[in-house]
Structure formats: structure tokens, C-alpha cells
Amino acid sequence: MKILGIDPGLRITGFGVIEAQGGTLRYVTSGCVKSGAGDTPSRLKAILEGLNEVIARHRPREVAIERVFVNVNPQSTLALGQARGTAICAAVLAGLPVAEYTALQVKQSVVGHGRAAKDQVQHMVKRLLALQGEPSADAADALACAICHAHGGRLGGFITRTYKIKSGRLV
């Protein structure tokens, strides 16, 4: 089963696709959608189009995304929420179920403890997927989210929420 992991951000949205079969994980692709400079609607459009392209090209069956955290700066939290909402919409419009995980759940699943640093996450993603080089921080976070989902969220908790379209409504 192909899983698309997403690390949302208004400037840079990381994505990673893995294939999970039994206990085996296989790297498919990863990268970043960069929205560039511009107004917020233009940036959200770039995120939506970029993720739509990834979904169309790699045809994942499920999507895992990191839950939003409350930042000290409310503007940053709102911007992250908008990027996250756009990513969820891309998945739901493609008919894909979306699972959310907290950063703590993702880090526990991939590294073994929830207080792991970004470089530790990158290193473990590289090892778990047998990558030649370390992925960028954003792509590594997205791959880690996909790995967490492939592991069923174990060691970190449960799938906290899934979204689907039912009768034209997001549920």
C-alpha cells in the first residue's frame, strides 16, 4: 500500500511517498512543494497544485499528515493551519483517507522517543528506508509521518482523525 506523508508549511510543504507491505517499507519518492513569495492565496494554490501532481503521479492509497501545533506566534499558527487545510483538501478531493498524527507520535514511532531532534528524525528515516543520502528536513518529516502511519501509529498512539467526503461534505 502506498502512503503519502505530508509535512505542511506555507513556504515549504514536504511530501514523501512510501510503499508498505507487511513489515517492509520501500521508499518511492520525496521532495518539497515550494510556494515562493506572494500573497497567501497564491501560495495555497501552489501547495494544492503541487500535491495534486504528487497524488496523480504516485497514486497513494492513504495520506498521513502532521497535526498542527499552537505556536507562540498566532500568525504562524494560522498560516500553518491554512497550509495544512490545503493539503487535507488535496487528499480528500482525490478520494483519499487522511490520518493525523502529532509530532510526538511521529517521533516516537520513527526514533523511539517524542523529544527527538530534526537531525535524529532525518537519520532514522534514512536508515529505515535505506536511503543513500539524508532527505531534506521537510521531506524527512513527511516520510516520518508516512512511516508512522505504516506502523499503525503504534508506539505513539492512535490515528486521531480521518477525513472523507460523504454526500459532498467533509466528515
66 is catalytic: yes
138 is catalytic: yes
**Among 62, 66, 100, 141, which one carries the catalytic annotation?**
66
Burial of 54 (0-12, 13-18, 19+ CB in 10 A): buried
**Among 62, 100, 138, 141, which one carries the catalytic annotation?**
138
**Among 7, 62, 100, 141, which one carries the catalytic annotation?**
7
19 is catalytic: no
3-state secondary structure the chain: CEEEEEECCCCEEEEEEEEEECCEEEEEEEEEEECCCCCHHHHHHHHHHHHHHHHHHHCCCEEEEECCCCCCCHHHHHHHHHHHHHHHHHHHHCCCCEEEECHHHHHHHHCCCCCCCHHHHHHHHHHHCCCCCCCCHHHHHHHHHHHHHHCCCCCCCCCCCEECEECCEEC
Residues recognised as catalytic? 7, 66, 138
